[in-house]
Amino acid sequence: MSEITIDLLTEPAGVARARAMLQRAEWAALSFTTFDKASVDRIVAAVAQVGASRAREFAEKAVAETGFGVVEHKVLKNIAMSTGIVETYRDHDYVTPRIDPTAKIVEVPRPAGVVLALTPSTNPVATVLFNTILALMTRSVVVVSPHPMAKRVCAEAARALAEAAVAAGAPDGVIQVVDEPSVPLINTLMQDERTSVILATGGTPVVRSAYSSGNPALGVGPGNVPVLVDATADLVEAARLIVESKSFDHGILCTNESVLIVEESAHANLLRHMTRAGAHLLEADERDRLREVLFPGGHFDTGFVGKSAAEIASAADIRVAPNTKILVAPFDYVVPEEPLAHEKLCPVLGLVRVPTASRGIDAAKAVLRLTGKGHSAAIHSNDANTIMAYGAALPVLRISVNVGNSLGSSGVATNLAPSMTIGTGFYGRSSLGENLQPKHLVQYTRLAYNADTAVPFANFSGLNPWQASTGSVPPYPVASNLVASGSVAQPVSGSLAQHYEPMTNEAAALREEVRRIVIEELRRVVRN
């Protein structure tokens, strides 16, 4: 009795809130899993449309709240991760059973269920949009847990998506968001058995915490992208693409180029073209000042994440032209002691010169030995042998060829799956080796017939176990003492306390008195 009492009195704040959210999510998931394809498509389209229509608003609010990035670039990402995702998977079906008469197998899709989406401060709304739409496409429900630095804009975006989903016929609670993140609350969400899978997009500590939660998790490792330019490359185009990619959203994407490796014979021309495109090549003394400012004590100062080249140059007392987009910092050796060889989520690009493309491949491997295994790399070349050798030698799972890596490896500027979560596979200690996509949130029950051809296979054509949603899904049930007499619960998406009519003054007073008596009695038991 004493142990139970102590738990009741000392349970960390936020734990009860987390459990209430998961209970509501579980209720919504049980309902949503019975919806048919047309109903799911209607809900997904409504949610995506809200995300796209408010893309600029959310981009502006994200930059204002976090201080990171470029509004125009965040608008592009918000659209790409809303209506862009819907368009990409328009012909995909994660709801209808699949029938293979030849193999005599029927595959019945089963959604993940309750998805906990941990979102970063660097790409906040785009990740909320992406994770939410992927979950809905597979009839899963999502609980969004934003980074504290972006909690306001993420909460507003998630609520807008939730309202659109419910209005389109989704169950109340299909999208929820953590308004005030706390360690006890997030730990409870991650460790509770009602959480089906965790999508961990963020830094290494977040991903490791997700993997150690005891629940299935899909996370990623850090990036540190090497980009090789050999003598066969179109140097004008390579220069433009590298500057645009490194400066995109002020270098905040984990897919941005980190170290530029240039073949000696192409070095001078490439740098000339990059300067014209908006790069500032640092002199040795400028580079040294930048290194000290950017890596005090040898560790990257996260205060420079997503800041402009001009802001960073000013902090290092470096004068640059007004149109400068990126800072290029040359150094001699790719070694752990060189801070500029490590990941930099800002428009600062390391530069290494090599005598041959083959030595360039060795340098790229050295970059990835520091960090970034499994993530991504880029190459600008017109030599198929070099491109193939680069792909075979580097321990990464995606390489952008003749395209900026920021949008190349994330699937926006290539035909890879468009994604805000870049799986690093076995190299990066991740369970996910591809760009995260809807198929990773659905599994299948397989009805497998006897392989003997003499055993007949039934005709399943036209059979569908799911039902069309009429748009009249009941609201989430709530205890009567939480609702004033005669009031009606309204299906919306934030905390339970915000969604229902407050108690009458009499009911509130009675509840508080009961609570006081119970706590006093529990304290008496503990003292005894």
Residue pair 317/289 in contact (Cβ under 8 Å)? The answer is: yes
CA distances 71 to 61, 302, 306, 469, Å, are: 9, 20, 11, 38
Largest pairwise CA distance in the chain: 84
Using alpha carbons, select from 491, 462, 445, 467 the residue that is nearest to residue 38: 467
CA distances 308 to 113, 126, 249, 272, Å, are: 40, 20, 9, 21
- Which of 59, 253, 254, 346 is catalytic? The answer is 254
Burial class (CB in 10 A: 0-12, 13-18, 19+), 322: exposed
Structure tokens at 404: 């900026």
Structure tokens at 229: 């330019």
What crossing angle do the helices spanning 55-66 and 71-80 adopt, rounded to 10°? 130
Mention every residue, 6+ apart, whose C-beta is less than 8 A from residue 155.
Answer: 146, 177, 178, 179, 494
Number of neighbouring beta carbons within 10 Å of residue 103: 13
CA distances 92 to 26, 134, 499, Å, are: 25, 12, 35
Name residue, tokens 């090789």: 228
Residue pair 257/349 in contact (Cβ under 8 Å)? The answer is: yes
Mention every residue, 6+ apart, whose C-beta is less than 8 A from residue 37.
Answer: 93, 95, 96, 466
Q: 140-165 burial string, b = 16+ CB within 10 Å, else e?
A: bbbbbbbbebbbbbbbbbbbbbbbbb
Query: Quick check: is 254 catalytic?
Result: yes
Q: Are strands 105-111 and 98-100 parallel, antiparallel or unpaired?
A: antiparallel
The residues annotated as belonging to the active site are: 254
